[in-house]
Amino acid sequence: WRTTMAINWNTVSTDVGQAVGKVLGGAWGNVSPGASAQIAAIVAVGQSIENNRATMTQSDYNMLKLMQQRALEGVLQSYAAISLVVAEQAAAAAWSVVAAALKTAYPVLGFVP
């Protein structure tokens, strides 16, 4: 596998936080300290996918994506101001940043939609 560009995971982490913050709006200020560990976990899973891309299957990717989205949803739903729908939207936005980074760096990865 050859990369077309290196993934800057620090930038991805910042972008994930911004994507979640955009969905949550004013609630983000209260939520961000508690959600930061889960956002770091999402980014770490993205790095793991990158490191294991040669052996990653579609079902592996789907499982990791679902686990990370559900974990972030759970953290976000623990805040009274955040509904299930908003938590789901924020988690999807977070994962879309990771998926976009992977797809940009490794366009041939068929398992990243």
Determine the pLDDT at residue 107: 87
Q: Which two tokens stand for residue 94?
A: 């977070």
Determine the pLDDT at residue 4: 55
Q: Are 28 and 43 in contact (CB under 8 A)?
A: no
With b for 16 or more beta-carbon neighbours within 10 A and e for fewer, the 57-72 pattern comes to eeeebeebbeebbebb
Q: Which of 104, 95, 83, 105 is nearest to 16 (CA)?
A: 95
Q: Please give the chain's pLDDT, 113 residues, in tens.
A: 444 568 999 999 999 999 999 999 999 999 999 999 999 999 999 999 999 999 999 999 999 999 999 999 999 999 988 999 999 999 999 999 999 999 998 888 888 87
